[in-house]
Amino acid sequence: MSLKPFHVVLFIAVALCASQGRAEELSPTITAVPANAVKTEFPDFDYNINNGLYATVTALQSFKNPDIKNERKFKLKNIEGFKKDIEVRALMQDEPAPLVIIFLGLASKSKDAMARLWQYQLHEAGHSVMVFDSVFRASFNERSCHGVCGNVDAEARVAAKVISAFIHHPDVEGSTTKIHLLGASYGGILALNYARLAKLGVIKQAPEKVLVFSPPISMRTSAVLLDKYYDEDTQKASFFDLFELSGHKPVEAGKKIPFTESQMRAGIGYIFHADLKDAVNLSRNMYKYEMPKTEDGKKTRCFTRFIEQVVYPYWRENKGVNTVEELWEYGNLEKLLKACGDNVHAIITEDDPLNDKTLLSMMKRDVPSSKLTVLPRGGHLGFLGTKWARERVVKFFE
């Protein structure tokens, strides 16, 4: 994740007043640690930051963007229910090969750094790889017109239409031996819902293997936490506080992290709510709704209000869900893993700031290690640039 930069004029205007007293706010206990300083069952785990907030805000700055060659763009036409053609990106092998479909995070684009990293790694390992914009993005929904975003069950069905259209594209037909799914964050929940529906026979293009990184343990809890960060930290942060986080690369091992925990929570709250705002601004015109106001008129609890007071009423009316609990349950990691076959695996971390510690303990107790890996550190997607993560991806799909 990298924070969207603010205008330079705003930065200059607030820099002097915002910087007053910053040194006193820094916590001396927040430091980077050498790789493997924490004894774990993963002796080869090479991620060296032991603060989940810092790992999260520097996630996409922790690895180099690979040089992608021979990428092709495919325009998929006449997909059932879609109002416009949709474009996907793919790296294809010269001979028939397994196809890995990447499901991205909440508002990620197909050309974002994480997608490029996985494309490069998997294509180098002998797979064909396809990726498209997140189903939550306005750029996807304005083409699919599948309904208000946030219903992951409905979005898995829509993603299946895209995959089927790609596999049967004239330039792709016959070149895929089997399909795999690779998901990140919200895209991980999407991939698991896809696998669940495939097991039920609802989706015909069944994946052979599904690997997901940093899926929320509970989408409801993650929404509450993001709202908390936004309401309590982002709203109090200055423009300078947020600007400093933009494009920041991780400090070297052993050095102090140059941000307070509140500042990092503010950055996380800001970027996720900015992504939500982008999706809402387009889809409210398409589906004719307004974000409901709170009793005090303040813009608080945005994520939770959106799901419960916009997404749920829409899908209840359109016969997609019966209760708000049913909608939230599509984002329950433990239930999804149990509902899928033995071909799925989730990788999460102890210090992901989007998860609740109690729920994490229950996951570790109740979900077998064959379906779940819990890393000691790495935040939310912060560890994706490690050699360990690359090896895990490549070996899982062998």
Q: Mind listing the pLDDT tens digit for each residue in 323-338?
A: 999 999 999 999 999 9
- Residue 150: its pLDDT value, please? 94
What domains does the chain contain, in order, with CATH numbers? 72-218+332-396 (3.40.50.1820)
* Tens-place pLDDT, residues 162-177: 999 999 999 999 999 9
pTM (predicted TM-score): 0.89
Provide the Cα torsion 37, 217, 263, 308; round to 10°.
180
Distance CA 223, CA 161 (A): 28
Residue 47 has pLDDT above 80, yes or no: yes
* Tens-place pLDDT, residues 339-376: 999 999 999 999 999 999 999 999 999 999 999 999 99
In the DSSP assignment, the letter for residue 61 is G
- Residue 299: its pLDDT value, please? 81
- Residue 41: its pLDDT value, please? 62
Work out the pLDDT band at 15, boundaries 50, 70, 90.
Answer: very low
Q: What residues form DSSP beta bridges with 73?
A: 89
Q: Poorest-confidence range of 32-41, 221-230, 246-255? A: 32-41
- Residue 115: its pLDDT value, please? 93
Listed as own residue / partner, the contacts of 75-81 with beta carbons closer than 8 Å and 24 or more positions apart are 76/162, 76/165, 76/166, 76/169, 77/165, 79/144, 79/161, 79/162, 79/165, 80/161, 81/144, 81/145, 81/146, 81/158, 81/161
Q: Poorest-confidence range of 10-24, 28-42, 266-280, 330-344? A: 10-24
- Residue 298: its pLDDT value, please? 80
Q: Three-state DSSP class for 62?
A: coil
Query: In percent, how much of the chain has pLDDT > 70?
Result: 89
